[in-house]
Structure 1
Amino acid sequence: MLSTQYRLRLEFICKKIANKEDVKLEDMIWAEKLAKAHTTARDWLNKARRQAAQDIQEGTMDDFMNKMGLGDPDPSNYRTGFDGADE
C-alpha cells in the first residue's frame, strides 16, 4: 500500500508522462525504484507510458486496453507479423 505522500507524487509524475511533459531525472529514478517494489506503482507508470506512446482517445479499444493494464507500453516490442507456423 502506498502512503498518501508517495501516491500523490507518483500521480503527479504519471500525469506528466501521460501528457508528454518533461519529468525530472530524480523523479523518474524515484518512480522506477517505487515501481520495482510496488505493483500498483508499476501499473500506473505503464499506463502513463502507453498513453504517452499512443494517442489514445477516450472510449476506444486502446483506452479500454490501457485502463485494464493490458499490452506493452513500448510499441517497439509489438509483433506485426510472423515468418512461419512455428512462431
Structure 2
Amino acid sequence: MALAGLGWLPEDLAREAGVPLEALQRFDRGEILPHGVYAALRDALHGAGVIFEDDGQMVEGGPGVRLRRAQADEGTRPEELSSANDG
C-alpha cells in the first residue's frame, strides 16, 4: 500500500533504502532478514512521507499506513516580489 501511495515500484524502494532488490523480494515473501534491512526499508518509506499506524490509531480496522499531508505552497512572499519573478 505504501508503494502504491508513493507511486513507487519495488526497484524504487530498494534503491532509496540502499538494499538489494532481492532482499525486498525476500521480505515480500515473508522471509526473515537481518534487522538492518527492515530498518532501511522503514527509514526510506518514512523519509518519503509514509506514516505507519498501529491498531486503532487513526481509524478502526487494524494497523496500516498513510501518507503525510503535503505542505501547502505559500507562494512568493510580498517582500520577494520583483519584476524578474512577476508572472
TM-score between the two structures when normalised by the length of structure 1: 0.33
Higher alpha-carbon Rg: 2
TM-score between the two structures when normalised by the length of structure 2: 0.33
* Greater strand proportion: 2
